[in-house]
Structure 1
Amino acid sequence: MGRLFLITLEGKFYSCKHCKVHLALSEDITSRSFQSRNGKAYLFSKVSNVYFGESDDRMMMTGLHTVVDIFCVGCGSIVGWKYEFAHELSQKYKEGKSVLERFKISGPDGSNYWGTPTEATHIIVGGGSDADDI
């Protein structure tokens, strides 16, 4: 493996919970109201210091999407997914955007979201995951 070049983000940023590599700026959040199997997730317009897995069609709460998993370049942990293609017209705004799972990242103040899948199940019941709250 060669030398690893990391981008250092300035300002309020989210980082990998495991290795503290900078992943995204707080100002690049498009929505804070997404859900994953592990609880809360945030939609970002840009992410850094990640690499992408293979393209995969997945049935999600809002329909069929072509996505790729996002991995931290520092430790290889999966931290979320990127929307490559939305099959429904109403979901096209997600294309090219990335979702980072709150469970797998540290917040700008260094805090961690320690939810577990069992704690998050009550959140998922009864609503969609995509309404913007900002």
Structure 2
Amino acid sequence: MAESGGNPFFSCRSCRNPLALRDDLISKKFVGKTGPAYLFSHAMNIIVGQKEDRKLISGVFSVADIYCSNCGEVLGWKYLRAYEPTQMYKQGMFIIERAKISKQY
């Protein structure tokens, strides 16, 4: 399990497994499958699922669902490829649904 080094971080709401540092939070203005979601530049202690093309609000992307490496909870997805030039900045980033995480200090 990765350590946060004393920095604020987000953890899995189900098992408290650290998932992302506060410093890696890019935006709180995204929407996941179940509601509000955050965009992160990095995530830790996750398992990346199978790649699939998915039609999202902002276009079609190749994505892979991400899961907590401890409890297996579906957390969101990783952007693998954007097909529209204006969306390329999302490639390699992670969507984690707000309902699946809690903030730790």
Q: Same fold (TM over 0.5)?
A: yes
Counterpart in the other structure of 2:83 = 87
Distance in 2 of aligned mates of 1:89 and 1:24:
27
**Structure 1 unmatched ranges of 5 or more:** 1-5, 110-134
What's the C-alpha RMSD, in Å, of the aligned pairs? 0.9
**Structure 2 unmatched ranges of 5 or more:** none
2:69 paired with 1:70:
no
Please point out which of 7, 12, 33 is paired with 2:2.
7
The Cα offsets for residues 83-121 of structure 1, whole Å up to 9 and x where unpaired, read as 000010000000000011001111235xxxxxxxxxxxx
Counterpart in the other structure of 1:18 = 14
Percent identical among aligned pairs is 40
Is the strand fraction higher in 1 or 2?
Answer: 2
Q: Stretches of 4+ moved more than 6 A in 1?
A: none
State the AA in 2 paired with 1:41: A
Counterpart in the other structure of 2:45 = 49
Distance in 2 of aligned mates of 1:19 and 1:36:
20
State the AA in 2 paired with 1:9: S
2:32–2:96: 8 Å Cα contact kept in structure 1? no
1:22–1:49: 8 Å Cα contact kept in structure 2? yes
Question: Which protein shows a greater Rg?
Answer: 1
The Cα offsets for residues 55-92 of structure 1, whole Å up to 9 and x where unpaired, read as 01000000000000000011011111000000100000
Q: How many residues align?
A: 104
